[in-house]
Structure 1
Amino acid sequence: MKTFNLAIILVMTLLMVSCEKESNQITNRKDYDAYLASKETKSIDFAKNEIDFWQKKFDAAPNQISYLSQIASNYSKLFEITGNINYIYKTEELLLQSNEALKYTQVGTIRALARNYITQHRFKEALVLANKALAIGEGKKATQKLLFDVQMELGNYAEAEKNLKAIQDPNEFDFLIRIAKWNDHLGDLPTAISLMEKAAKRAEKDENEGLKVWAYSNLGDMYGHAGQIKKSYNYYLKTLALEPHNSYALKGIAWIAFSHEKNTTEANRIINIISKKHNSPDFYLMKSEIAEYENNKEKKEKYMSNYFNMLQKNNYGVMYNKYNALIFADDTSTAEIALAIANQEIKNRPTPDSYDLLAWSYYNLGDYKKALEIAQKHVAGKSFEPELNYHLAMIYKSNKMSNLVQPIKEDLLTSTFELGPSFQQKIDQL
């Protein structure tokens, strides 16, 4: 009888392990392989044809300044599809030409240039333009939406909230996505998701494919942060069903394969394919993170070298300052460089994220008291980002404030998907 009971226990244990393994498996190559194989030429060809069309019209009638905005818009689309940074600078060049010709009197063209600066992380310049558009007065609501976006990036949260209240309309997509972002900033992720779901329904009701893609891809991201990985995956698939070349959604699926399923082979396969179509340094950072998890120092160094080579060959301005500061801060021999970048970021955008870079740089230089002073004043209680809170916990630990570490540790244990599998051991050691 004892032997029989033991056999039952063994079978039940094996079944439980099997079920756990099965539930951990979310991705299925059959779901997305067709999207990986698709060659995005239609949208690229269309944008290039549009550029040629409007350029010829402008050459024939140089006084028609509005044609420049049409050309700029299509260069911006090419950047979204290909990741080629030169398209962003071409967009800027055309919008500057257009605004100068119009003597900065047309709010639509001013706002377009401000959005270009947001993409480049030139937030203070974007704010100047947004205020210029506001002073003109025309299309005030659209300008207030822009002002909310810029103020959030700059960490001017009181001003951002004023603009959010000014555009309040619970039936409008643009308002819903912004109040979702606001609630996410406040740390209320369930409400943020609920509002983004409403935005998605609004886009569906309006049959607006572009807005559906925007809402679905963001829901994929948000559900991932909430630890609801299956829902995250399904929203990425919904995004791809509408836009097969969407690199954000494909990268999201690669992250699920890596962070949730620990399937580094599949994650690398996806990244290798999409990085050939969408040229971005981000992919080297992810490959480096995967190599770190695999304890492959040689590959990690190779991908980091590829990342910095790409930054050197292309002018990304300050767009990768945050990543660079974190990379340099983790090595005591380069922590001084991280400190300089962090100070630059604070000048550009004095947010909790930027101050975290400064505090983390001082921590890695061994100045724990300075790190604590900055973190307590500018980071603690001001952000719900897991990586910032991990840094905060490490700074508390170094200052022997263990009573403050444990609550953060417990919270971080629920954020391992977002942080990545390499963080699990770091969190355990807190």
Structure 2
Amino acid sequence: MKLLSAFITILFTLLLMGCDKKSDQITNADEYDSFLVSNDNKKTDFALKEIEFWQNKFDKAPNQTSYLNKIAANYSVLFEQTGDIQALYKAEQLLIKSNLQLNYTDASSLRTLAKNYITQHRFKEALDLANKAFKTGDKINETHKLLFDVQMELGNYELAKKSLVAISDSNDFDYLIRLAKWNDHKGDLEAAIAMMEKASAIVEKFDNKYLLSWTHSNLGDMYGHAGNIEESYKHYIKTLKIDPNNSFALKGLAWIAFSHEKNTSEAKRIIDVVSKKHNSPDFYLLKAEIAEYEKDFASQEIYLKKYFNTLKSKNYGVMYNKYNGFLYADDNNTLNKTLVIAKEEIANRPTPQSYDLLAWYYYKKGDVKQALKIANEHIVNKSFEPEVLYHLACIYKANNEINQIKSIKKELQASVYELGPNMVTKIDRL
């Protein structure tokens, strides 16, 4: 009877384990394999044809600056679809040429070039162009939208809020997605998601496929941050049904497989396919993170080398400064590079995130008092990003301000999915 009882107990335990495993399983390869197998990209093909078409027209009529803008727009699509940084730079060159011909007086061309600079993280130059566009008086609301985007990136939150108020319209898609960003910045993720859902309902009515895929991919990201992984997955699948080559959504699926399901083989399978279609350094960082989780430190080092080699060979400017700064901080031999980058980031965009890098440098250097001083002045209650909060908790602990850690630790434990499985032990040690 004892043996039978023991057998039943073991069987029951195994069944429970099976149920737990099933509950963790959210991804379904049958739903997204077709997006991985396909090598067709209609958006890329169409953009290439459009570039050739408008280039031929411009060659015959070089005084038609509108043709330059159309060519530039399609190079921007190529960058979005392939990750080819040279396509983004080509768009910039064409837009500069267009603005020169128009003597920097056409608001639409100014705004388009500013958006290109935002993508390149050249925010101060983008602000200068946005201000020029504002002075023209043409379509002020469009410029306010741009000003909101730029001022948020620069950390000028009160100025951003003024532009947000200026375009206030609860039935306007552009306003709602910016209101969502504002709520997210304030730490109210629930309100941010509600605004994005409302924006999604608006574009559903008009069947705007580009905006639909953009909205669903962002909702996938936001639901993930909120810990609702099932809803996150659903929105990524919705994105891919509209835009099968959406690298952001595919990367989102890989992250669910890795961070939630701990299925590293599936995560790597997805990444291997996506990284061939979309050539971005981000994927080497994700591969390095997975290798660290698998305790394959040799592969981790290889991926990080490939990441830095890619940045060096293709010249991404300051687009990856934040990532580089924190990576350099992990090695005493490169720690001084973190300080250089932190100062550059603060000069370019004095946000709480930029000051977080500076504070982290001093923490890693051992000057925990200076790290705390920076944190108290520029970070506390100004950013609610889990990574920033983790750094803040480490700085508090180093300064024996233990009472400050408890509430942060609770938030971090709720954000483990967003931070990744490598952070679990680090958070537990706080």
Both structures adopt the same fold (TM-score exceeding 0.5): yes
Counterpart contact for 1:123–1:348, Cα < 8 Å: yes
Q: 1 CA distance for matches of 2:223 and 2:20? A: 21
How far apart are the structure 1 equivalents of 2:52 and 2:134?
A: 33
Aligned pairs for 1:378-389 (under 5 A) are 378-389=378-389
For the residues of structure 1 that align with 2:378 and 2:413, how far apart are their CA atoms? 24
Rounded to whole Å, the distance in 2 between the matches of 1:95 and 1:228 is: 41
Matches within 5 A, 1:79-228: 79-228=79-228
Counterpart of 1:291, as a letter, is A
Question: Quick check: 352-361 or 6-15, which moved more?
Answer: 6-15
CA contact 2:328–2:335 (8 Å) conserved in 1? yes
TM-score when normalising by structure 2: 0.98
Which residue identity does 1:158 align to in structure 2? E
- C-alpha displacement of 1:90: 0.4
Partner of 2:282: 282
- Residue aligning to 1:59: 59
For residue 45 of structure 1, report the CA deviation from its aligned partner: 1.8
Report the TM-score, using the length of structure 1 for normalisation. 0.98
3-state DSSP class of the match of 1:413?
Answer: helix
Deviation at 1:64, TM superposition (A): 1.0
- What's the CA shift for 1:48? 1.0
1:41 Cα deviation (Å)?
3.5
TM superposition shift of 1:6: 6.2
- The residue aligned with 1:360 is 360
Question: 1:287-326 counterparts in 2 under 5 A?
Answer: 287-326=287-326
Does the CA contact (< 8 Å) of 2:41 and 2:245 recur in 1?
A: no
User: 1:11, CA displacement in angstroms?
Assistant: 4.4
Counterpart of 2:82, as a letter, is T
Q: Deviations over 1:131-178 (max 9, x none)?
A: 110111110000000000000000100011111011011111101100
- Do 1:217 and 1:235's aligned partners in 2 also have CA atoms closer than 8 Å? yes
1:48 is matched with 48
Opposite residue 338 of structure 1, the aligned amino acid is: T
Q: Which amino acid aligns with 1:155?
A: G
SS of the aligned residue for 2:298 comes to helix
Deviations along 1:172-229, whole A, 9 cap, x unmatched?
A: 1101100011101111111111111111111101111111011100000000000000
Amino acid at match of 2:408: I
| Distance in 1 of aligned mates of 2:374 and 2:87 | 38
Say whether the 8 Å CA contact 1:225–1:417 is kept in structure 2: yes
3-state SS, counterpart of residue 23 of structure 2:
helix
Contact 1:331/1:364 (<8 A) preserved: no
> CA separation in 2, counterparts of 1:39 and 1:244?
10
Q: How far 1:405 sits from its partner (Å)?
A: 1.2
Q: Distance in 1 between matches of 2:151 and 2:236?
A: 29
Could you tell me which runs of 5 or more consecutive residues in structure 2 were left unpaired when the two chains were aligned: none
Query: Equivalences for 1:256-275 in 2 at 5 Å?
Result: 256-275=256-275
The answer to whether residue 29 in structure 2 is matched with residue 26 in structure 1 is no
1:287 is displaced (CA, Å) by 0.2
Letter in 2 for 1:95: L
Question: Over aligned residues, Cα RMSD in angstroms?
Answer: 1.2
1:15, distance to aligned residue in structure 2 (A): 2.9
Q: Which residue of 1 aligns with 2:231?
A: 231
What are the equivalent positions in structure 2 for 1:318-397 lying under 5 Å apart? 318-397=318-397
Task: Tell me by how many angstroms 1:13 deviates.
Answer: 3.4
Q: Which amino acid aligns with 2:20?
A: E
Q: After TM superposition, give the deviation of residue 4 of structure 1 in Å.
A: 7.2
Separation in structure 2 between the aligned mates of residue 210 and residue 337 of structure 1, nearest angstrom: 40
State percent identity of aligned pairs.
60
* Equivalent-residue separation in structure 1 for 2:302 and 2:12 (angstroms): 45
Could you tell me how far apart the structure 2 residues matched to 1:389 and 1:94 are? 41
In 2, Cα distance between the equivalents of 1:344 and 1:352? 14
CA distance in 2, matches of 1:422, 1:370: 27
Supply the distance in 2 between the matched residues of 1:86 and 1:31 (Cα, whole angstroms): 33
Q: Name the residue aligned to 2:78.
A: 78
What code does the residue aligned with 1:345 have? Answer: E
Deviation, structure 1 residue 40: 3.0
Indicate the SS of the match to 2:355.
Answer: helix
Query: What is the identity, as a one-letter code, of the residue corresponding to 1:263?
Result: N
Structure 1 counterpart of 2:364, one-letter code: N
* Native 8 Å contact 2:291 2:297 kept in 1: yes
User: Does the 8 Å CA contact 1:336/1:365 hold for their aligned counterparts?
Assistant: no
Distance 1:207 1:232 in 2: 21
Distance (Å, rounded) in 1 between the aligned partners of 2:41 and 2:149: 31
Q: Provide the C-alpha distance between the structure 1 equivalents of 2:332 and 2:389, rounded to a whole number of angstroms.
A: 21
* Aligned amino acid, residue 352 of structure 1: P
Counterparts of 1:268 and 1:8, CA distance in 2:
38
**Contact 2:151–2:157 under 8 Å retained in 1:** yes
Separation in 1 of the partners of 2:329 and 2:99? 40
2:418 alignment counterpart: 418
Larger deviation, residues 8-17 vs 361-370: 8-17
Change in Cα spacing, 1:41 to 1:210, as seen in structure 2 (3 Å) is closer
d(CA) in 2 for partners of 1:155, 1:386: 18
| Aligned length in residues | 430
State the 1:406 CA deviation: 1.5
More deviation in 418-427 or 33-42?
A: 33-42
Return the offset for 1:335: 1.1
Asked whether the equivalents of residues 75 and 91 of structure 1 are also in contact (C-alpha less than 8 Å), the reply is yes
1:398 matched residue in structure 2: 398
Letter in 1 for 2:411: D
Give the conservation status (yes or no) of the 8 Å contact 1:65–1:101: yes
Post-superposition shift, 1:371?
0.6
Once the two structures are TM-superposed, the CA of residue 7 in structure 1 deviates from its matched residue by 6.0
Q: Residue 421 of structure 2 aligns to a residue in which SS?
A: coil
Pair 1:241-2:241 in alignment: yes
SS of residue matched to 1:422: helix
Letter in 2 for 1:138: D
Letter in 2 for 1:174: D
Q: Give the CA deviation at 1:9.
A: 5.1
C-alpha displacement of 1:333: 1.9
8 Å contact 2:240–2:249 — kept in the other structure?
yes
- CA-to-aligned-CA distance 1:271-318 (integer Å, 9 cap, x gap): 011101100000000000001111111000000000011011011000
